[in-house]
Every structure is written in C-alpha cells, then in structure tokens.
Structure 1
Amino acid sequence: MEPNTDPVTAYYGLLLDGTASFDPARLRPLLADELVFEGPIAGRVVGADRFVRGVTGFVETMRGMTMLHRLAGDGEAATMYDAELPGGTVRFAEFFRLADGRIAGLRLLYDADRYRAAGGR
C-alpha cells in the first residue's frame, strides 16, 4: 500500500472496530483541519470537527460493514462498502482527496432515502 493512502486505511480501521471501540479522538488526527465533506444529506461541510460529529453518529447506528472495493492513486482513494444498519443494508461509495498525510476531502455517495429508511441518522 502506498504511504499516501495510510490515513484512509486508518479511517476504515476505526469504522470497522464499531461502536464498542470507536474513539473520535483517534479519528481527528487523520483529518486536515479544513476537510471538505460532501454528502447527500449533509451537503457541503467544511471543517474536521463537524465531520467527526457526523461520523460518530453513523458509527453509533451501524451494525457492521463489508468492504467491497478499494482503489488508491497518487493523493486519492476510493472505496465501496455495504453498511448494516438497524433496518437493512445500504451501499456507500467514498472518494478521498489526500494532502500532507491527511484526509483533506471526502465525497460520499449513497441513496439518502434508503439510508433514512434503514435507520440511518
């Protein structure tokens, strides 16, 4: 694995640990201060602290995760995974932009209606 993808590997390591051991303080150092997040429900959000709050809510709802695909290039990575939520499985795709060893941008794609119906928050 290329060194520039390490923050993404660590990010998913935290998510895959689930609620029992998820610690937002371990997530924060992986993120650029001015991280730009884009998602179907949140829209465009700037700032790592706001992103951490959102991820924490997701992890608290998630019952499990199955990684389906992962690609990495110079300064970028993409993943596709299924998340088990209380009301069923929802498929997600995430596209990462990396800078200075941190996650600087993240675009998340999923069916927002399906996510809400499955108990996502």
Structure 2
Amino acid sequence: MTTRETVQAYHRARFDGDVPAAAAQLAGTFTFQSPLLSSDADGHLAGLAGFLQVVSGVEMISELYGESEATLVYDVHTATPAGTQRTAEHFRLRDGRIEAITLIFDATRWHPIMAAATR
C-alpha cells in the first residue's frame, strides 16, 4: 500500500471505531504524542473508544503525502465545551506501516475537561 492508502485506511478506521482495522496499519514500534498525552500502540488504541464518544464529526481540510510521511489537517467537531478542534496530524511510516503519529492542536480548552474527567 502507498503512504496515502495506509494513512487513509487508519484515519477511516479510527473515526469509524474499527480498532482492529486501525491497529493493522500500525508498526510494532508505534508511538503517539499529543499535547495531552504520549503512548504506545496499546495505550493509543485503548483510548480511541472514549475519544469517539465525544466526536460528532470530522471535516478534512488538507492532506499532504510524501514517500514515508503524511500530514492531515482537519476539524474535529466534539460534543464538549471544547467545540470544534482544528488539528494537524503528522504520520511517519516505515515499511508501509505507521511508526509514529504526532498530533498538534491548541489544548487550552481541553485542560478543564481532562481535569474534570479525572475527578
């Protein structure tokens, strides 16, 4: 599969809640980093269901693909006080699998939500 096919398959599976299909696109050495957390594949996949509970839609803005990397820019519409979150997501691939994802967004509106969830 091409970088584009791999990233699109992962993105589609993740937002459809298809964890096995999303996991199939990840490398064994996968890492995830965002302004709120860092994790390996198991931690990342375990958090998807909870994240999807607050997502009401995703609107793609831009897709950029290279030989072994990709960047998606999209709006995540949520049913939280954070509302719509503009997000950039950078993917690094090795041997046709996603080795790392770096999520970039302004987490300011998420801090009170995360604090309330841990209480």
Q: Look up the match of 1:12.
A: 11
Q: Look up the match of 1:94.
A: 89
- The one-letter code of the counterpart of 1:81 is Y
Matched-pair contact (CA < 8 Å) for 1:76–1:97? yes
Question: Gaps (5+ residues) in structure 1?
Answer: none
- The one-letter code of the counterpart of 2:50 is G
Matched-pair contact (CA < 8 Å) for 1:69–1:81? yes
Q: Distance in 2 between matches of 1:90 and 1:28?
A: 24
Q: Distance in 1 between matches of 2:22 and 2:15?
A: 12
Q: Look up the match of 1:112.
A: 107
Q: Look up the match of 2:42.
A: 49
- The one-letter code of the counterpart of 1:113 is T
Structure 1 segments of 4 or more deviating over 6 A? none
Give me the TM-score of the superposition, normalised by structure 2.
0.83
Q: For 1:18-97, what aligned pairs fall within 5 Å after superposition?
A: 22-42=17-37, 44-45=38-39, 47-87=40-80, 88-97=83-92
SS at match of 2:4: helix
How many percent identity over aligned positions? 34
Give RMSD over aligned pairs.
2.0
Distance 1:116 1:89, change over 3 A: farther
Matched-pair contact (CA < 8 Å) for 2:3–2:67? yes
Matched-pair contact (CA < 8 Å) for 1:4–1:74? yes
SS at match of 1:63: strand
Give me the TM-score of the superposition, normalised by structure 1.
0.82
State the shift of 1:116 in Å.
Answer: 4.8
